[in-house]
Amino acid sequence: MDSEIKAALDKLFAADSSLYQARGFQRRIGWGKKPALVNIDLANAWTREGNAFTCEGMDEAIPAVQQVLAAFRARGLPIVFTTTAYEIVDGAHTDMGLWGRKIPTEVLRAGSEAVQIDDRLERRDDEMLIVKKQASAFRGTNLNSYLNACGVDTVVVTGATASACVRATVEDAIADGFRPIIVRECIADRIAGAVEWNLYDMDAKFGDVEPLDAVLDHLRRNQ
């Protein structure tokens, strides 16, 4: 990120933190007893170059996600991947809904390479794949019932984008009674500043944004 933008954001966040904390915001929700890892839209359309949905910073985010995946796999904890894909992208009765009038969802064709999970993450057969139509991983899917069946009370969130699908998922997670832990280094977006602002705001209102090292340390200490 441009140093001037970062300096401006740091100044803004410092002032906002004073206001939030004075009003009782930015509390910590903490970890529960059993976490699941929910990787939001880490499919090629977001992680690789040359797509309308391509995000910045994936060279740093993917290795960070790999570390979190390794920690969850070592403990045998539930892992979920999501992608966004559409069966009908033409005509009057598309399954894109009104969202297709706002963003280029037509490039997210079901079965295409664009909506496949990035192979650098080596998704396994026993790791749930949810194909969603909306921003939130909870909206119109069985994610809630799956997590409940697994005895999960905490969701560790990675993926893209900070301003849309990650944020919508985090907001629905806490609304549905799950503790959201968002891994800072594992979140990406397309626009400079979108990651920083949305992480800051989610941390103030909806979940705990934690650095990668702290998340890995918690998983090591609570085996």
186, 211 in Cβ contact below 8 A? no
DSSP label at residue 106: G
Dihedral (Cα; 207, 99, 130, 37), 10-degree rounding:
-20
Are 222 and 181 in contact, with CB atoms under 8 Å apart? no
Q: How far is CA 206 from the centre of its chain?
A: 13
What angle in degrees, to the nearest 10, is found between the helix axes of 58-75 and 212-221? Answer: 10
Sign of CA dihedral 172, 176, 181, 183: negative
DSSP annotation of 100 reads G
Query: In this structure, how many other beta carbons lie within 10 angstroms of the beta carbon of residue 207?
Result: 26
Give burial (CB, 10 Å; 0-12/13-18/19+) of 67. middle
150 has catalytic annotation: no
Q: How far is CA 78 from the centre of its chain?
A: 16
Distance, CA of 42 to CA of 63 (rounded, Å): 12
Q: Which of 55, 150, 165, 186 is catalytic?
A: 165
Catalytic residues: 165
